[in-house]
Copies of this chain bind each other. A is one copy, B any other.
Amino acid sequence: MTAHHELMTTYTATVTVRLKRGVLDPEAETTKRALERLGFELESLRSADQFEVDVDADSAGEAEDRADEMAQRLLANPTIHDYDVEVAEA
């Protein structure tokens, strides 16, 4: 453990990954129909994947930058996904 580490704070970065508008989502369509079969009335349903990542960082900005890079490198597929990142102290 170095002095540098002791100054770090743990942040939770929430990365929400959604399908871009126009990309077909058969799972959401199936879920919507299942809800309708149960008697629910709904106009539309979209699904998204959320990742809550705990990272040690010097600042909220650094935590957000790292989570953004995780989204670009692995969590989201830029061809079909949009994503957003929100950061809070854990």
CA separation between A49 and B44, bound complex, in Å?
A: 17
B residues within 8 A CB of A54?
Answer: 42-45
Copies of this protein, total: 2
Known contacts A74-B31, A74-B34; is A41 also within 8 Å of B56 by CB? yes
Size bracket, chain A contacts = 20 to 34
From B45, B66, B75, give the contact of A31 (CB < 8 A): B75
Smallest CB separation, A1 vs chain B (Å): 14
A 45-58 to B, binary, CB cutoff 8 A, 1 in contact else 0? 11111111111100
CA separation between A54 and B43, bound complex, in Å?
A: 5
A70 contacts B by Cβ under 8 Å: yes
